[in-house]
């Protein structure tokens, strides 16, 4: 098997698997919170996002580590909140979380660059682009919420989900 990932980056990629799975975990919690309040569209949106996007991100790191001849380790996922004051707080927290993930990807990008890990560096370029989309996605939800007069039910009606 080729050895195309260094020990330090391998460790950080394993940490990122947990970060991505925890992102999904947070969004599942937000989905449950919304479901309980009758916001079925937003609940479905967040659940699908957790399943389709965050799980996919985690698996992308898993596959890269394996392809590069590294070792996959699944760490513990820290407990996530299950209560928020209101919908606006939920949306702002989701944006803040995506900003945190973007910052994480930048740390990995810097490390890959420093260590001349060219394959990882290429792959992280994809993640940086993805993070721009992710931040935009949640910022747009908040913008729509503000534009529609912060009426939870009306806004939820307009949330599209796959």
CA distance 121 to 131: 15
Closest approach of Cβ 19 to Fe ion, in Å?
Answer: 8
Q: What is the 3-state secondary structure (H, E, C) of the chain?
A: CCCCCCHHHHHHHHHHHHHHHHHHHHHHHHHHHHHHCCCHHHHHHHHHHHHHHHHHHHHHHHHHHHHCCCCCCCCCCCCCCCCCCCHHHHHHHHHHHHHHHHHHHHHHHHHHHHCCCHHHHHHHHHHHHHHHHHHHHHHHHHHHHHHCCCCHHHHHHHCCCC
135 vs 148, beta carbon nearer Fe ion:
135
CB of 149 to Fe ion, least distance (A): 27
Rounded to whole angstroms, the Cα distance separating 36 from 74 reads 31
Question: Least CB distance from residue 71 to Fe ion, whole Å?
Answer: 22
Binding status of residue 57 toward Fe ion by CB under 5 A: yes
The stretch near Fe ion (CB under 5 A) out of 32-40, 55-63, 82-90, 139-147 is: 55-63
CB of 154 to Fe ion, least distance (A): 26
- Taking CB under 5 A as the rule, does residue 97 contact Fe ion? no
Burial (0-12, 13-18, 19+ Cβ within 10 Å), 137: middle
Instruction: Considering only the stretches 7-15, 56-64, 77-85, 151-159, report the one whose residues sit in contact with Fe ion under the rule CB under 5 A.
Output: 56-64
Window of 13-21, 30-38, 75-83, 113-121 that interacts with Fe ion by CB under 5 A = 13-21
Stretch that binds Fe ion, among 74-82, 87-95, 102-110, 127-135 (CB under 5 A): 127-135
Does 19 engage in binding with Fe ion (CB under 5 A)? no
Among 10, 28, 60, 134, binds Fe ion (CB under 5 A): 134
Instruction: List residues near Fe ion by CB under 5 A.
Output: 20, 23, 54, 57, 134
């Amino acid at each position: 098997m080729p050895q195309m990932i260094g020990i330090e980056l391998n460790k950080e990629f394993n940490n990122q698997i947990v970060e991505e799975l925890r992102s999904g975990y947070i969004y599942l919690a937000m989905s449950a919170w919304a479901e309980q309040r009758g916001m079925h569209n937003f609940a479905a949106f967040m659940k699908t996002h957790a399943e389709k996007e965050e799980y996919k991100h985690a698996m992308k790191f898993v596959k890269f580590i394996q392809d590069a001849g590294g070792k996959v380790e699944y760490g513990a996922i820290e407990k996530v909140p299950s209560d928020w004051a209101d919908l606006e707080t939920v949306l702002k927290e989701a944006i803040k979380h995506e900003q945190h993930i973007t910052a994480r990807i930048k740390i990995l990008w810097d490390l890959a660059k420093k260590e001349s890990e060219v394959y990882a560096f290429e792959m992280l370029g994809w993640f940086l682009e993805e993070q721009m989309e992710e931040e935009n996605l949640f910022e747009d939800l908040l913008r729509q919420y503000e534009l529609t007069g912060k009426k939870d039910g009306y806004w939820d009606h307009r949330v599209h989900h796959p």
